[in-house]
Amino acid sequence: MTDFRTKMMRRALALARRGFGKTSPNPAVGCVIVRDGEIVGEGWHWKAGTPHAEVHALRQAGEKARGADVFVTLEPCSHHGRTPPCAEALINAGVSTVYAAMMDPNPLVSGRGLAMLRKAGITVNCGILEQECRLLNEAFVKHVTTGLPFVILKSAMTLDGKTATSSGDSKWITCEESRRYVHALRAKVDAIMVGVGTVLADDPQLTCRMVRGKDPQRIVIDSRLRTPPTASLFHLDSPAKTILATVERDPQKIAAIQSLGAEPLLCSEDDGRVDLEDLLRRLGARGIQSILLEGGRELVGSALRKGLVDKFFLFYAPKIIAGDDGFGLCSGRGVERMKDAFTLRNTSVRRFAEDFLVIGYPESTCLQD
- pLDDT at 82 > cutoff 70: no
Q: Which pLDDT score, from 0 to 100, does residue 84 have?
A: 76
What are φ and ψ of residue 59, in 5° steps?
Answer: -65, -40
Concatenate the DSSP letters of all residues of 276-315 into one string.
Answer: HHHHHHHHHHTT--EEEE---HHHHHHHHHTT---EEEEE
**Alpha-carbon gap, residue 306 to 279, rounded angstroms:** 13
CA 194, 196, 201 angle in degrees (round to 5)?
A: 95
The whole-angstrom separation of Cα 190 and Cα 101 is 25
pLDDT digits (tens, 9 = 90+) for 176-222: 999 999 999 999 999 999 999 999 988 999 999 888 889 999 999 99
pLDDT band at 1 (very low <50, low <70, confident <90, very high): low
Going by their DSSP bridges, the two strands 97-100 and 69-72 should be labelled as parallel
Residue 355, pLDDT > 90, answer: yes
CA dist., res. 155 & res. 226, Å (int): 23
DSSP, res 259: H
Q: Dihedral sign, CA of 28, 33, 39, 42?
A: negative
Please name which of 128, 163, 126 lies closest in space to residue 301, comparing C-alpha atoms: 163
What are the tens digits of pLDDT across the range 252-303?
A: 999 999 999 999 999 999 989 999 999 999 999 999 999 999 988 899 999 9
Q: In the predicted model, what is the mean pLDDT of residues 225-254?
A: 95
Q: What is the pLDDT of residue 103?
A: 94
Average pLDDT over residues 336-356: 92
Phi, psi of 53 (to 5 degrees): -55, -45
Percent of the chain with pLDDT over 90: 78
**Cα 249 to Cα 267: distance, rounded to the nearest angstrom:** 10
Strands 355-364 and 123-126: unpaired
φ, ψ at 43 (rounded to 5°) = -170, 160
CA gyration radius for the chain? 23
Query: Is the model's pLDDT at 365 over the cut of 50?
Result: no
Q: For residue 323, name the pLDDT band (cuts at 50, 70, 90).
A: confident
Do the Cβ atoms of 85 and 51 come closer than 8 Å?
A: no
How far is 244 from 233, CA to CA, in rounded Å? 11
Instruction: Judge contact between 225 and 248, C-beta under 8 A.
Output: yes
pLDDT digits over 92-143, tens only?
Answer: 999 999 999 999 998 878 889 999 999 999 999 999 999 999 999 999 999 9
In the annotation, is 63 catalytic? no
Q: Given the residues 54, 75, 88, 294, select the one marked as catalytic.
A: 54
Least confidently predicted of 4-13, 162-171, 199-208, 251-260 = 162-171
Which pLDDT value is given to residue 192? 97
pLDDT of residue 335: 82
Write down the pTM of the prediction.
0.91
- Report CA dihedral (244, 215, 198, 346) to the nearest 10 degrees: 110
Percent over 70 (pLDDT), the chain: 97
The CA dihedral of 127, 13, 188, 209, to the nearest 10 degrees, is 170
DSSP assignment, residue 164? B
Report pLDDT for 79.
Answer: 72
Q: If we measure between CA atoms, which residue out of 141, 114, 127, 125 comes closest to residue 27?
A: 141
- What is the overall mean pLDDT for the chain? 92
Among the residue ranges 11-15, 228-232, 307-311, 339-343, the one predicted with the least confidence is: 339-343
Hey, how many other C-beta atoms are within 10 angstroms of the C-beta on 48? 15
Buried b (16+ CB within 10 A) or exposed e, 204-234: bebbbeeeebbbbbbbbbbbebebeeebebb
Neighbours of 360 (CB within 10 A): 16
Mean per-residue pLDDT, 6-15:
97
Amino acid 105: pLDDT: 92
